[in-house]
Amino acid sequence: MNVTLLAGGVGGARLAHGLDLALSPQSLTVVVNVGDDTELHGLAISPDIDTVLYTLAELNDEDRGWGLRGESYATLSALKELGEDTWFTLGDRDLATHIVRTARLRRGDALSAVTAHIARSMGVRPCVLPVTDDHLATLVDTPSGRLGFQEYFVGRQHADAVLGLHFDGADAARPAPGVLDALAAELVVLAPSNPFLSIEPLLAVRGVREALVMAPGRRVAVSPIVGGQAIKGPAAQILESLGHEVSALGVARIYADLVDVMVIDERDASLAGPVADLGLTVHVTDTIMGGPPGRERLARELLALA
Amino acid sequence: MNVTLLAGGVGGARLAHGLDLALSPQSLTVVVNVGDDTELHGLAISPDIDTVLYTLAELNDEDRGWGLRGESYATLSALKELGEDTWFTLGDRDLATHIVRTARLRRGDALSAVTAHIARSMGVRPCVLPVTDDHLATLVDTPSGRLGFQEYFVGRQHADAVLGLHFDGADAARPAPGVLDALAAELVVLAPSNPFLSIEPLLAVRGVREALVMAPGRRVAVSPIVGGQAIKGPAAQILESLGHEVSALGVARIYADLVDVMVIDERDASLAGPVADLGLTVHVTDTIMGGPPGRERLARELLALA
Q: How far apart are CA B235 and CA B242, in angstroms?
A: 11
| Minimum Cα–Cα distance from B105: chain A residue | A42
Closest by alpha carbon to A223, among A273, A180, A266, A257?
A266
The string of pLDDT tens digits covering residues A217-242 is 999 999 999 999 998 889 999 999 99
Nearest C-alpha neighbor of A194 from the set A148, A155, A231: A231
Q: Cβ distance B187 to B303 under 8 Å? A: yes
CA gap A139, A117 in Å, rounded: 29
Least Cα distance to A100 among A120, A129, A74 occurs for A120
Among A72, A77, A100, whose Cβ lies nearest the Cβ of B84? A100
Mutate: best of B38, B69, B75, B84, partner A, most A CBs <10 A: B75
B72 touches chain A (CB under 8 A): yes
| pLDDT tens for each residue of A71-94 | 999 999 999 999 999 999 999 999
Cβ atoms of residues A271 and A247 within 8 Å: yes
B123 touches chain A (CB under 8 A): no
Nearest to B100 among A72, A74, A82 (CB): A82
Nearest residue, CB atoms, B75 vs list A41, A93, A102:
A93
Q: A93 and B82 in contact by Cβ < 8 A? A: no
Taking alpha carbons only, the member of A228, A124, A183, A144 closest to residue A5 is: A183
Helix intervals (H) in chain A:
10-22, 47-56, 74-81, 92-106, 111-121, 149-150, 179-182, 200-204, 208-213, 235-241, 248-255, 272-276, 292-305
Question: With an 8 Å Cβ cutoff, are B103 and A42 in contact?
Answer: yes
Smallest CA–CA distance, residue A115 to chain B, in Å, is 11
CB contact under 8 A, A81 and B74: no
Domain at A3-37+125-140+169-305: CATH code:
3.40.50.10680
Instruction: Please report residues of A whose CB lies closer than 8 A to that of B44.
Output: none
Q: Does B41 reach chain A within 8 Å, measured CB to CB?
A: yes
- Chain B residue nearest residue A59, CA to CA: B78
Q: Under an 8 A CB cutoff, do B100 and A93 touch? A: no
CA distance B231 to B251: 13
* A contact test, residue of B38, B50, B82 with most A CBs within 10 A: B82
Per-residue pLDDT of chain B (306 residues; tens, 9 = 90+): 999 999 998 999 999 999 999 999 889 999 999 999 999 999 999 999 999 999 999 999 988 888 999 999 999 999 999 999 999 999 999 999 999 999 999 999 999 999 999 999 999 999 999 999 999 999 999 999 999 999 999 999 999 999 999 999 999 999 999 999 999 999 999 999 999 999 999 999 999 999 999 999 999 999 999 999 998 889 999 999 999 999 999 999 999 999 999 999 999 999 999 999 999 999 999 999 989 999 999 999 999 998
Taking the C-alpha atoms of residue A76 and residue A84, their distance in angstroms, rounded to an integer, is 9
Q: Calculate ∠ Cα A217-A222-A224, nearest 5°.
A: 150
Q: Does A281 touch chain B (CB under 8 A)?
A: no
C-alpha torsion B283→B286→B289→B294, nearest 10: -100
Q: Which residue of A has its CA nearest to B44?
A: A103
Assigned fold of B3-140+169-305: Rossmann fold (3.40.50)
Confidence of residue A28 (pLDDT cuts 50, 70, 90): very high
Evaluate whether B201 touches B9 at the Cβ level (below 8 Å).
no
Q: Do the chains contact at A75 and B82, CB–CB below 8 Å?
A: no
Listed residue (A178, A187, A182, A179) closest to A22, CA to CA = A187
- The verdict on B85 touching A (C-beta cutoff 8 Å) is no
Q: How many CB pairs under 8 A join A and B?
A: 100
DSSP state of A103: H
Q: Please judge whether A72 and B74 are an interchain contact, meaning their C-beta atoms are less than 8 angstroms apart.
A: yes
pLDDT digit string, tens, across residues A128-183: 999 999 999 999 999 999 999 999 999 999 999 999 999 999 999 999 999 999 99
